[in-house]
A and B are shown apart, each in its own frame.
Chain A
Amino acid sequence: DAGITQSPRYKITETGRQVTLMCHQTWSHSYMFWYRQDLGHGLRLIYYSAAADITDKGEVPDGYVVSRSKTENFPLTLESATRSQTSVYFCASLAGTYNEQFFGPGTRLTVL
């Protein structure tokens, strides 16, 4: 199916553990994004990527690492998870600057 998939959909982990959230898109869109959504904050941009091997920080990048070796994949890694990183994480893609952003279904992450 065309679109954006995220895995896992739900994840529970412990403080200090490394966690990787996966994101895959089937359109070959140039731009990909990671957002976190916390109650009362809307969506905040963590990292974005303009193309394979090009990534840059967003509004709240601390504690996260991204890579993009292939256009279709954009994994997000929490190197040492903290409770403050408990959130819903959305991956999104964009064909061009003034086009619609397409969102994945989200990953609900709980850090105990």
Chain B
Amino acid sequence: AQKITQTQPGMFVQEKEAVTLDCTYDTSDQSYGLFWYKQPSSGEMIFLIYQGSYDEQNATEGRYSLNFQKARKSANLVISASQLGDSAMYFCAMIRSASKIIFGSGTRLSIRP
């Protein structure tokens, strides 16, 4: 079965530290994409980063990077130098086709000053 697992329901991190949010997935497809979204307390879904299954290099977007380990089926989000504004829910998602998009249950990240 296709599945996205985020094993950390909540995390606390000190400001300016790096943080890794875990995401593992299960699919038998060869072509797929992995996304991370941020959902602050205001509720909107903010796109952070995307990794395609055939991309050889890990995706990076500013302070965000995706540690993609295809053999282990993991797509962890790394946030460098965390900021107070990074406090939010973070969702990992996998897309295999337009009809097959699934989300993990999310990780609530709290940054301590």
Interface string of A83-106 (1 = CB under 8 A from B): 000001010101001111111011
Given contacts A98-B33, A100-B50, contact A88 B43 (CB under 8 A): yes
Contact of A98 among B95, B105, B106 (CB under 8 A): B95
User: Is A48 located at the chain interface by the 8 A CB criterion?
Assistant: yes
Residues of A within 8 Å of B43, CB to CB, are 88, 105-106, 108
Interface string of B46-57 (1 = CB under 8 A from A): 010010100000
CA distance A94 to B35 in the complex (A): 13
Q: Are A42 and B99 neighbours in the complex by a CB distance under 8 Å?
A: no
Q: Are A50 and B98 neighbours in the complex by a CB distance under 8 Å?
A: yes
Q: Can you list 5 contacts pairing A with B, beta carbon distance less than 8 Å?
A: A90-B45, A94-B98, A97-B33, A97-B95, A99-B50
User: Is A56 located at the chain interface by the 8 A CB criterion?
Assistant: yes
User: Is B11 located at the chain interface by the 8 A CB criterion?
Assistant: no
A residues near B (Cβ < 8 Å) are 31, 33, 40-45, 48, 50, 56, 58, 88, 90, 92, 94, 97-103, 105-106, 108
Residues of B within 8 Å of A58, CB to CB, are 99
Q: Are A41 and B50 neighbours in the complex by a CB distance under 8 Å?
A: no
Name A56's closest neighbour in chain B (CB-CB).
B99
- Chain A to chain B: the 10 pairs with minimum beta-carbon distance, closest first: A103-B45, A42-B103, A43-B103, A42-B105, A98-B33, A31-B98, A100-B47, A106-B43, A105-B44, A42-B106
Q: Are A48 and B44 neighbours in the complex by a CB distance under 8 Å?
A: no
